[in-house]
Amino acid sequence: MSPAVHLAATGHGFLSPTGVEIAFLLVGIATFGAAVVTVTTKQLVHAALWLVVALGGLAVEYLLLTAEFIAWVQVLIYVGSVVVLLLFGLMLTKAPIGRSPDADSGNRPAALAVAVAAAGALVWVVVDAFRTTWIELDKGVQGSTAVSGESLFRHWVLPFEALSVLLLAALVGAIVLSRKSGADSGRGGTGHGKEKR
């Protein structure tokens, strides 16, 4: 039996979505909106908070796909660690709390073109790879902890380690910049004191 005949026989299709598929689509739209606000807002703290919403939306998507382990990894690592690290970096570098005109860039058309091209390539790859694949959401959990963990830590160890080194370097850089700016302001204050004497 061909995949098309199998899909027709099982009744799956885009014109007859289930409740889970509708919820998946609505959460996806909300997550996309939060991601757009994250990269367009001029307030860095608000961008970090909207990033929490976007990453939380991805965790909900994983839950709807019955991948509970990946959903909790998303919450614990990305929402719980990456965003907290980002906020610490903002505080250590004394980033402005309000609107930051300096955060805007004049390369918006180029950035938009790259983003659209990357999104189109990702959508094409995913649709081409999983065109005839359907997940039976009513048959329990599909992605168990053992299978997901083995796949992640056997084939994706190097990206995880590279990400951890990158985050550590970002935090160390933020601490160095904050200490350097504090030392410069202290020297300036001492110089003014000497002039007054």
Note the pLDDT tens digit of each residue in 69-78. Answer: 888 888 888 8
**Count of beta carbons in the 10 Å neighbourhood of residue 193:** 9
- Cα–Cα distances (Å) from 83 to 89, 184, 187, in that order, read 10, 29, 33
pLDDT tier at 46 (50, 70, 90 boundaries)?
confident
Tell me the three state secondary structure of residue 94.
coil
Contact 50, 37 (CB under 8 A): yes
Residue 5: the pLDDT is 42
Task: Quote the radius of gyration of the chain (alpha carbons, Å).
Answer: 23
pLDDT digits (tens, 9 = 90+) for 106-146: 777 888 899 899 989 999 998 888 777 766 656 555 556 77
* Total-model pTM: 0.60
The CA-atom distances, in angstroms, between 139 and each of 26, 68, 72 are 23, 14, 20
146, HSE (Cβ side, Cα atoms, 13 Å)? 0
